[in-house]
Structure 1
C-alpha cells in the first residue's frame, strides 16, 4: 500500500494528511515543535463547515525516522522559502525494498510540490528525478497546535498535479487520483500544470497585502487589483502562459464550496497573514510578489507595487509585526491615503 509522507503538516499538509488518514490511507505526518507534540498526544483535528474530526496518523519530527520504502510518495507542503533547506535532506535519505537499500529518495521516490509560487518544481529538480508540480486551492488555516481549520466542504481542496518537465504521468500519480478525490481532496491531472500554477500565483499576490494591511482593510481590494494588473502585464511580456480564465473559474466553482466554520469568524487570513499571526519570523512573499519582481527585472522592467509589498512583508516578518500593524507604512509607500 502506498504511504504518503506529508513534509510540513501545517494548513495545507495537515488538511491533505488528515483527509487521507480519515479514509484509511497510509499517512506519515512530518511536523515540528508543539504542533508535532500535540498531534502525537491527541491527534490532528480538522474543523470544517460540516463539523470536526480527529485522526491519529504517526507523526515524526526528524526525517531520519521516516524509514522510507519504494512504496512511499513524498508530499512537500512547507512554505516555498523553506523548501531549499528541506529538499536536500529528504533527497539523500535511503530508500528500502525488502530489507535492502536500493537508492536514495531523490533517485527512487516521486515528490509532489504542493506549494504556492512557481519555483518549487525547479528547486526540487536539483535533488529529485521525479517531480510532480502541484497547484493548490485549499482554504485552510493553521494557528493552534494540533488543529487545522478548513473553510470548504465536502470538498476540502482542489489540486492540479502534473509532471515537471512535461511527460507521461507516473503510475504513482494516476494511482492517487481516485483515493485522494474520494477523501475530499479533489485531484485533476492536466497535461501541463504550470499554467495553473502561474494563474494561482496571480491569485496569491493579495496574500502579502492582507497580511500587512489586515484582512478587512478598505484599501485591500484596490491594492490587490493593482498588484494583479501589474503581474499580468509582466507575465504577458515574458510570454508566460496562464490557464484559460473560464477553465480556471469553472474548476474552482465545481470544486470548492467555502462556508463558515462553526465557532470561527467568517473571515480568516491566508497563508501570509497566518505567518505574521503566528510570529514565525519569516514569510513567503518573496516567492509570490517577489516572483513578479524577479521576472520584471529579468526583462529590464519594474514592478513597483509588487516590489513594495514584498519589501514591507519582509519587514513585518523580521520585526514580528502583527497583521495590520504596518498598514500605515505600506499605504504611504504605495501613495495611498489611510
Structure 2
C-alpha cells in the first residue's frame, strides 16, 4: 500500500490514525490481541470535546511485506519497540519515512540502526491522551507534535522532503506539527520530567500531584531533574536555562490525584517504560562520563517498595 502505517494503536497511535483517516488519508493500524479485535469490531472510539465518535480506520495484525507505505509511525510504548521493528524487517533495505513518538531519548537511534535506509524522525507529542478500556480519551489542549532528525540537519534532500510531506499531512489533519532541524533538545526536555517524576512519585508512595507538597520528594525530584539536564549538557544538547524550574512549576499546578503512565504501570506490576525512563538515567550518565546518585537512590527506593520488575 501507499499511505501511512501506524504500529501501536494505543491512545496516541489511535488518535493519529483516526485524525488522518477522517481527513481522507490512506491509513492502516497494526494491532494485536484484544485491541485488534476491538478495532475490527468498533473502529477507533474517541472521547473528546464531550462527544464520543467511532472512526472505522482499517486495521491488520501485520504489515504487507509486498507493499511499502510512504510513511510509518511507530506509536508503541518504548519497551515494545523491538517487536515493532520485527514487523518492519521486510522493509529493512527500503527508503521510506519513519516517525517515532516514544518516550525517552533513544528510540530514533534504535530504529535507525535496525532500518539503515529509512529516513527517521524523532518527535515530542504534546497533549493529554489516555486509553481507558478501548476508548481513547483526549482532553485539554489540542494535540501538537514537534518532529525532526536527531542531529543538526537532515541526512539529505530526500529525508527533508519526506519529513516535510509528513508534517504537512499532520497539519492538514488537525495535528499542529512543527518540523525542526534537530529534535534532540525537545526529546531531552521531555525526558527531564518524564524520567524523573515517574520514578520519584511512586518511590515515595505519592501521586504526581502530591509531590510538590512533600518536602523530601520535591527536593529529590528537582535534584534528579538537574542530573538529567547535566547529562544533556554533557552531550552538547542545549536546554533552556530555566528548564528545570519550569518543569517544577508545571508539576506544582497538577491536581492532587494526577499520576503518570509509568507510575501506574509500576504500581500495577505491568510491563513498563522504566528501563527507558528512570532506569536509563544512570546508564546515560555513565555514557556521558557523569554520575547520577539521586536517580540511583530513587531506583533503590522503588526496589524497596518492590515496584521494579527486573
Q: Is TM (by shorter chain) over 0.5? A: yes
CA distance in 1, matches of 2:9, 2:19: 12
| Aligned residue in 1 for 2:250 | none
Structure 1 counterpart of 2:138, from 145, 150, 175: 150
Residues 17 and 243 of structure 1: CA distance in aligned 2, closer, same or farther (over 3 Å): farther
Whether 2:218 is the aligned partner of 1:225: answer no
Residue range with higher mean Cα deviation, 159-168 or 121-130: 159-168
CA distance in 1, matches of 2:17, 2:43: 12
Whether 2:225 is the aligned partner of 1:235: answer no
Deviations 1:190-232 (A, max 9, x none): 1111111111111212123345533443436444323212222
| Aligned residue in 2 for 1:286 | 275
Whether 2:203 is the aligned partner of 1:206: answer no
| Aligned residue in 2 for 1:329 | none
| Aligned residue in 2 for 1:48 | 48
CA distance in 2, matches of 1:57, 1:84: 25
Deviations 1:137-170 (A, max 9, x none): 23211231x21111234x22x2111134532443
| Aligned residue in 1 for 2:33 | 33
CA distance in 1, matches of 2:25, 2:39: 17
* Structure 1 contact 141–148 (Cα < 8 Å) conserved: yes
SS of residue paired to 2:290: coil
Whether 2:291 is the aligned partner of 1:295: answer no
Aligned residues: 288
| Aligned residue in 2 for 1:333 | none
SS of residue paired to 2:28: strand
> How do residues 10-89 of structure 1 correspond to structure 2 at under 5 angstroms?
10-61=10-61, 63-64=62-63, 66-67=64-65, 69-87=67-85, 89=86
Q: TM-score, normalised by structure 1?
A: 0.74
> How do residues 111-130 of structure 1 correspond to structure 2 at under 5 angstroms?
111-128=98-115, 129=117, 130=119
Shift of 1:243: 4.3
Deviations 1:234-281 (A, max 9, x none): 333x2431344689x99xxxxxxxxxxxxxx9955333134347x472
Gaps of 5+ in 2: 247-254
Q: TM-score, normalised by structure 2?
A: 0.80
Residues 280 and 91 of structure 1: CA distance in aligned 2, closer, same or farther (over 3 Å): farther
CA distance in 2, matches of 1:131, 1:113: 8
Gaps of 5+ in 1: 94-103, 251-264, 320-338
